[in-house]
Amino acid sequence: MSRLVYTGVSDRMAASYILRNVRAFVEASNLSLISINSDGRIEFVNPSACSLFGYSADEMLGQPITLIVPERMRGAHMAGFARVAAGHQPNLGGKTVEVFAIRKDGSEFPIEITLSVWKGEQGYCAGAVIKDISERRERETRLLRLASQDTLTGLANKHQFMLLLQDRLVSGLPAGVILIDLDGFKEVNDIHGHAVGDSLLQAVSVRLSYLLGADVSLARLGGDEFAALLPASDRITVEGEALAILNAFRKPFFLGPLALELSASLGVALAPRDGADADELVASADFALYRAKAASGACFRFFEHSMRSEAQGRRSTCDELRTALGANQLRLFYQPQVNLKTGEIIGFEALIRWQHPVRGLLPPAAFLPALEQSALALDIGWWTLDQAADMAARLNAGGGNVKVGVNLFPAQFRALNLTDKIEDALSRHRLKPEWLELEVTEQVALGDDERTFQTFAGIRDMGVGLAFDDFGTGFASLSSLQRFPLTTLKIDRAFVAGIESKSSNAAIIKALVAMSGDLKLDTIAEGIETAEQMQALLEMGCPSGQGYRFGRPMPAEDALTLAR
């Protein structure tokens, strides 16, 4: 009997010891703990919970649990607890939920509650372990914002733009997409640095946001490309917005002391005519954007279904060209340039050809339009420069003085390492600089910015020649001839072809020859095919020419033989 009494006392002492230690643990814990009796009133709260909610223990004990529940949620909370108290939901042990709570100062914050429910002497009661998850929610919000927002401009990013567009299309709402690509942005980055470039992108985003209004979703897709989602799909409305965007770039962007001139190219696609889903519609707008940029930029184009097949053809051509470069299928042919008085060969123009394995020898017109808009233009352009330098070295190996002219792609003139590539070609082929001449087109010269001028000046400082090709057929101004350090002016074949029958052509050529002489430039007339054309040019004072009259473009070995 005494043994049994001893055991009972020990059990009570042990239980008391455990309860004291559990209470001490609960009181000291960083976890916020609350228990609620069957009446829905707080019967226990530890110091951590008091600190969390901003109350003292006396202020919380005996109060209904709604003390820490936002008013808009109290009805639902009490209804749920009433069901628990009635025994309808007794199996909630360990369940974790996320809800909002309210502090004494009235501020709301998110919490995570792990609930436990048990049956006591007075009915079902509940206990909760509470955790403040404000930091986690803020972190999740930041991650969500990063996933949907462009960090530089604050606009929607491509992912968010595509979601918005797809939602609109699924809902059957009208939608128009305008892709906006900045013309000349790369040059701003190259000249002024990326910090100025980033500021310019921010300025563009502000101007476009102000212009387009709240009903248009504007996004930065990446780099210097923006996109606008319009709640309209009729051509007239969307065309009006496109014109407004183009006009927005007529004023310079002022960044501190800098006034930066910038234009934009736009591609436009309308749903559902140009695409049934977001990917297809944006792809259609991209085809139209390509067409706008090919038209020298600063304009917009609507998508046409023929653009898709053209784009597929360009991609196919570029893929084949990439193979052609590695398989040695590309060739440089050389057309002689002669002194019209003596017939002496003074140079050759290097012209690219493609020895296609199936289609035979292809002229530049068959592949250059696709190549010039491709990143492959640089690789093939450097190959062309190297081949021309090698040919110039071979032509002059016996003590000659014959130059080789070579057209470079616009992408090469924009490349920061152009002068390095030229110096390398001169060095490797042991080439005198005056034996090499680079031909530039109006597309390059019309850039007319300081960086282009510095590039030209650097080339001339090496002693390499610079020829202005096809002058008079586009929009190049006479000031271009005066500004850039050119060595040669090439008169376009279109004027030579009508020299005998069109007095206007003859007048233009005569003026160009005179102007070229005053500027101390060499002059070469292109496209001479007849003796009559040659004689007329001689009478006008034109010193040099090239054309079928003197020889067609020919392989390197034939050109070497002719030169000898």
pLDDT per residue over 126-153, tens digit each?
888 888 888 888 777 676 666 678 889 9
Q: DSSP of 489-539, one letter per residue?
A: EEE-HHHHHTTTT-HHHHHHHHHHHHHHHHTT-EEEE----SHHHHHHHHH
Q: What is the DSSP letter of 252?
A: P
Amino acid identity of 413? Answer: F
- Residue 4 has a pLDDT of 41
- List Cα–Cα distances, 440 to 13, 188, 405, 452, 497, in angstroms: 100, 21, 10, 11, 22
Measured CA to CA, the distance from residue 306 to residue 310 in angstroms comes to 6
Residue appearing with tokens 């005996």 = 62
Q: How, if at all, do strands 330-339 and 108-120 pair? A: unpaired
Rg of the chain in Å (alpha carbons): 39
- Residue 116 has a pLDDT of 80
- Residue 493 has a pLDDT of 87
Angle at which helices 185-192 and 450-462 cross, to 10°: 70
- List Cα–Cα distances, 270 to 61, 181, 217, 445, in angstroms: 64, 18, 15, 36
**Tokens representing residue 249 in the block:** 């770039």
* Structural domains present in the chain: 31-136 (3.30.450.20), 149-303 (3.30.70.270), 324-563 (3.20.20.450)
Identify whether the C-beta of residue 99 lies closer than 8 Å to the C-beta of residue 128: no
**Tokens representing residue 42 in the block:** 């707080």
Largest distance between two CA atoms of the chain:
143
Report the DSSP beta bridge partners of residue 535: none
> In terms of Cα–Cα distance, which of 411, 339, 401 is closest to 374?
411
- Residue 86 has a pLDDT of 56
- List Cα–Cα distances, 274 to 240, 282, 288, 290, 312, in angstroms: 18, 9, 11, 16, 16
- Residue 549 has a pLDDT of 93
- List Cα–Cα distances, 409 to 270, 382, 418, 525, 546, in angstroms: 34, 9, 11, 22, 22
**Tokens representing residue 462 in the block:** 């090496």
Q: How, if at all, do strands 108-120 and 176-183 pair? A: unpaired
Q: DSSP of 180-229, one letter per residue?
A: EEEETHHHHHHHH-HHHHHHHHHHHHHHHHHHH-TTSEEEEEETTEEEEE
Which segments of the chain have a pLDDT < 70?
1-29, 76-95, 120-123, 141, 143-147, 311, 373, 442-451, 470-482
- Residue 83 has a pLDDT of 59
- Residue 166 has a pLDDT of 93
Residue 138 neighbours by CB under 8 Å, 6+ apart: none
- Residue 564 has a pLDDT of 81
- Residue 2 has a pLDDT of 40
- Residue 120 has a pLDDT of 67
Q: DSSP of 279-334, one letter per residue?
A: HHHHHHHHHHHHHHHHTTSSSEEE--HHHHHHHHHHHHHHHHHHHHHHTT-EEEEE
- Residue 495 has a pLDDT of 87
Angle at which helices 556-563 and 376-395 cross, to 10°: 30
